A = this chain, B = another copy of it.
Amino acid sequence: MSHAVPDVTGPSARAVELVEALVARGWTLAVAESLTGGLVLAAVVDVPGASRVLRGGVVAYATELKATLLGVDPDLLAARGAVDADVAIAMAAGARERLGADLGLGTTGVAGPDPQDGHAPGTVHVAAVGPLHARVVSLHLTGGRDQVRRDARDAVLALALDMARPAG
């Protein structure tokens, strides 16, 4: 049960900045992930002291779990499918409410290699919902499946950091 060399390089600078910004603001965090499948949560947990801010998260990989676990409107899912900007916002809002956090994050999209519901691989929506407002960013990413998922992770961490930082 041991390895000579750790298989990762330590916490990402972006995740460290996010945890620091949340601590400074007195905010807690909850995450709802679809295509990123645990990568956002893993990045935050990697930061020493993450337990001061992280409540937890949900990986709703199967579409109907977005409704049952996160409270996303089933009619919205039926009308638009899971790859949708409003679904990303509803996932973030659901994580925020159901896990009792100040800031909720959501990711949905197509990692590839195949299209989903008519959306090309690399189509990604990431959202953040805070106490006062919500934001969503829609991206068309390039690269393979891993690259798309990692860029989506980085995009939602950047959006979260932007939300958590005090207005300048």
Contacts and interface: CB of A to CB of B under 8 A. Distances in A.
B2 A142 contact: yes
Interface stretch (A7-15, A73-81, A128-136, A160-168): A7-15
Interface residues of A, number: 48
Contacts of A10: 146
Contacts of A146: 6, 8, 10, 46
The number of times this chain is found in the oligomer is 2
A28 to B, nearest CB: 8
Contact of A42 (B31, B37, B141): B37
Interface in A51-81: 51, 54-62, 65, 68-69
Interface of A: 1-3, 6-10, 31, 33, 37-42, 44-46, 48, 50-51, 54-62, 65, 68-69, 98-99, 139, 141-143, 145-147, 149-151, 154-155
